[in-house]
Structures are given as C-alpha cells and as structure tokens.
Amino acid sequence: MRAPVAALAVSAALIAIAAACEGAPDEVEVLDLGTVTLSDTGGYSGPIEVAMPSDTTSAVAWCGGYGDAALGAVWTLTDPGGAVVYDGDDGDTSRFRSDFLDDMAPALLPVSPKLPMADGAWSFDWFVGAGNGGSLDCGAVIRSGIGDDVGSDATINVEVVFVGVDLTAATAADDADWQSALDTFETEWGTAGLTVNVVYKDFGGNVDRFTVVDVTDDDYSEFNDLLRTADPDDPRSITFFVVEEIANNSDGGATILGLSAGPPGAATVPRTSKSGVIVSGVDLRDAPGDVGRIMAHEGGHFLGLYHTTEKDGSNHDPLDDTPRCTSDGDGDGILLASECAGSGSGNVMFWTFGDDNPSFSGDQGWVVRRNPVAY
Ligand SMILES: [Zn+2]
C-alpha cells in the first residue's frame, strides 16, 4: 500500500519528510499469472508479462507444475523497453542467467547490478523440455514499497526444521554444536550485510521418509517432495530443513552436504519444490562449522546467487566483482580450491569448500539484500 501522503498537494520536500517519518511499507505480493498449455513434447510458454510498479525492489516470476522428470528455464527475457536482455539461444549470461530446474523454474530480478529493476512490463518466455508438457502454472511475487532504497543491511527470517536428527526445536538453543554452526552461518551472511532471525520447528510430516533424503543424478523427487512441505509461520522466511543425511545413490555419486532450491528459490511462496533449502547434519558433531558453511552457501543460491566458478569452469555468475577461476593446473577438468587460491576459493559461492572464513562480494550483497524474502 502506498502512504496516503502521496495524494496530498504539498511540496515534494514535505512529502519526502512525511514518508521518512512514517516509514515506507516494504511489502511482498503474490500474483497468479495463469496457466499455459504445452504439448507433451514440451515447448515455449510464449510471452508472459509481469508488470512492475514504480516502487518495485525485486520480483521472482515462475512457471511450474511440469513434473519432476522434465526441465524448464527462462528462455528469453525482455525488458519494459522491448529489449531482449537474455536469450537462451545466444548463451550470453553476462546480465541474467537461468538454469534448468525440474518442476518449477523461478527467475529473479534483479540478479546483477548490470540489469537493475525497471518499471513496467517485463516479459518472460519459458522453455520446458520434453517429458511432461501438460499445463504450466505461472505466478510471481513482487517486493515493492521502497523501490531500490534497500540500504547496506537487511534481515532475513530463517525457519529451521529438524527432520530426524538429534536436535529439536527445544534443544537447539542450548546445543553447542548447533550454535557453532549457526555462528559460522551468521558470520558469513554478515559479510553481505544480512542479519538472520532464526525460529525452530520440528518436522511434522513423514520423518521416516525424509530423515535420509535419497537422490540420484537424475531423480531429485524426494528432495522436491520435502521442500513441498515448507510452510513457515511467516511466509517471508527461508525454510532450512536439517536432515540426517542426503544420500546420492548414483554410481560414484559425490557426497551431498546441502541442496538448495534454485537459484533462485521461490521466495515467500510456500509448499513448492523450490520453497527452501536442505542441509545434511552428517557433520554436525564433528565439524559443525561445515554445517554453517553449507547453510550460508545454499542459502545464497536460494537468494539468487550462482557459483562464482562452476566445478568444470564452464560457467560463472553474472556479476562483475566476483573472482573467476580459469586455472586447471593439473588438467583434470576440475577447478580445485587449491588451484583457485586468490581467484575464487575465498568466496562463499565457490562451487566447493575453499578458504576458511569465506565472504561475499559487494555485488553479491547487492543481489541478496534485494531479494523479496529480505526486508
Ligand atoms: Zn552450490
């Protein structure tokens, strides 16, 4: 809601003073953008417009419901002036990047200072691959009221849900290992200007099924199903599920310490396959700081951050001030933290654990403080 002072016929200076005294509302609103029918072989949604009011800070738009076995992504993004600012056919991810995601493909604006929010109608065209088709349910959440004036600090509500681990909502506050994990998480997020406001809950669903979350390289349906239970008391929160283990059952599958919806997650939207983050508690008793590091990293993905450098070096984030590693010294096709010293291993969003005490860059902080879940 706009402050009523905007309607008064007084000078601009007086309006500014009145608005500052009242405090501009910083609100999120969820919009239903309707349904699109695709053939079974997949295809394009066609242009879906999201109208941003003049005081918009950020938005997450999505199309979803196409199934856990299919993949979808934003294929073209057009700004209010009619310029195509991202085109999946030309591979230019310098200003905007969209990854393929199963069942729901959210897209965040802005993901880079190089493509800031602008008033008016942005147009998204989603592509969904073969394997499901059917109908897409599309929507958006818009954060508005304060425009781009987010400042250098923000708060994010975190609802931690314990699933089959030796921690409960009642014991977490006095559990030294958990508090150590939380300290690390809060310290790393603090480098982006984020303050964490934590509440705890014990999982009320099928604990036996989700204590160990089983995935394979091609099947993340159990991960998706646990996220579909995320329903925080305050919708403007990120749900972090802490499970006993995330088991990768593919042959030679790498250990998984955390998984995030996105990037980006479906900020402020409960009960979708992109409604939170899952963290493995397997290291909680031996290396609690690692659990905190995973929370910081996976939460960064939820908020719209990509890896600064991917494991094989094939891609980077769309930010100018994050370090990019290109040196595969031993030629094994993997950019190890030891090969990326000084060029990425000190960033929270490097693809794997790197230096101790990693931090976010200025541009990364710029992105996460604008996310609809932040305030
Ligand atoms: Zn990651």
pLDDT digits (tens, 9 = 90+) for 244-270: 999 999 988 888 999 999 899 999 999
Quick: pLDDT tens for 85-94. 999 999 899 9
| CA 299 to ligand 1 center in whole angstroms | 9
Strand duo 154-163 + 134-144: pairing: unpaired
Predicted confidence (pLDDT) at residue 9 exceeds the cutoff of 80:
no
- List, as one string, the DSSP characters of 247-278: EE-STTPPPBSEEES-SSP-TT--SSTTSEEE
| pLDDT confidence bin for 40, thresholds 50/70/90 | confident
| CA 67 to ligand 1 center in whole angstroms | 23
| CA 302 to ligand 1 center in whole angstroms | 10
| CA 80 to ligand 1 center in whole angstroms | 31
| CA 260 to ligand 1 center in whole angstroms | 8
| pLDDT confidence bin for 3, thresholds 50/70/90 | very low
| CA 297 to ligand 1 center in whole angstroms | 6
Predicted confidence (pLDDT) at residue 42 exceeds the cutoff of 90:
no
| CA 125 to ligand 1 center in whole angstroms | 26
Return the number of other C-beta atoms located less than 10 Å from residue 46's C-beta.
11
What is the amino acid identity at position 320?
A: D
Burial (CB < 10 A; 0-12, 13-18, 19+), residue 336, is: middle
Mean pLDDT of 123-138: 87
| CA 83 to ligand 1 center in whole angstroms | 31
| CA 227 to ligand 1 center in whole angstroms | 17
| CA 324 to ligand 1 center in whole angstroms | 15
> Hey, is 192 helix, strand or coil?
coil
Tokens of 229: 């239970």
Mean pLDDT of 180-187: 98
| CA 224 to ligand 1 center in whole angstroms | 17
The pTM of this model reads: 0.93
What distance in Å separates the CA atoms of residue 98 and residue 96, rounded to the nearest whole number? 7
pLDDT score for 23: 61
Tokens of 90: 């030309």
Return the number of other C-beta atoms located less than 10 Å from residue 136's C-beta.
24
Predicted confidence (pLDDT) at residue 353 exceeds the cutoff of 80:
yes
Tokens of 75: 């294929």
Catalogue all structural domains in the chain, each as residue range(s) with its CATH number: 23-144 (2.60.120), 154-305+360-370 (3.40.390.10)
Predicted confidence (pLDDT) at residue 13 exceeds the cutoff of 60:
no
| CA 298 to ligand 1 center in whole angstroms | 6
| CA 309 to ligand 1 center in whole angstroms | 10
Put residue 209 in one of left, alpha, beta given phi > 0 → left and psi -120 to 50 → alpha.
alpha
| CA 353 to ligand 1 center in whole angstroms | 10
What distance in Å separates the CA atoms of residue 117 and residue 95, rounded to the nearest whole number? 12
pLDDT score for 133: 64
What distance in Å separates the CA atoms of residue 186 and residue 306, rounded to the nearest whole number? 20
| CA 307 to ligand 1 center in whole angstroms | 6
pLDDT score for 124: 98
| CA 28 to ligand 1 center in whole angstroms | 27
Strand duo 245-248 + 212-215: pairing: parallel
- The answer to whether the beta carbons of residues 97 and 305 sit under 8 Å apart is no
Tokens of 55: 């005081």
**Helix H or strand E segment including 184:** helix 176-190
| CA 35 to ligand 1 center in whole angstroms | 31
| CA 367 to ligand 1 center in whole angstroms | 16
Name residue 280's beta-bridge partners: 243
| pLDDT confidence bin for 291, thresholds 50/70/90 | very high
Burial (CB < 10 A; 0-12, 13-18, 19+), residue 165, is: buried
Predicted confidence (pLDDT) at residue 287 exceeds the cutoff of 80:
yes
- The answer to whether the beta carbons of residues 261 and 373 sit under 8 Å apart is no
| CA 201 to ligand 1 center in whole angstroms | 25
Per the document, the length of the chain is 375
What is the amino acid identity at position 192?
A: A
> Hey, is 70 helix, strand or coil?
coil
**Helix H or strand E segment including 242:** strand 237-243
What distance in Å separates the CA atoms of residue 203 and residue 321, rounded to the nearest whole number? 39
- The answer to whether the beta carbons of residues 283 and 291 sit under 8 Å apart is yes
Q: Between 288-302 and 176-190, two packed helices, what is the crossing angle to 10 degrees?
A: 40
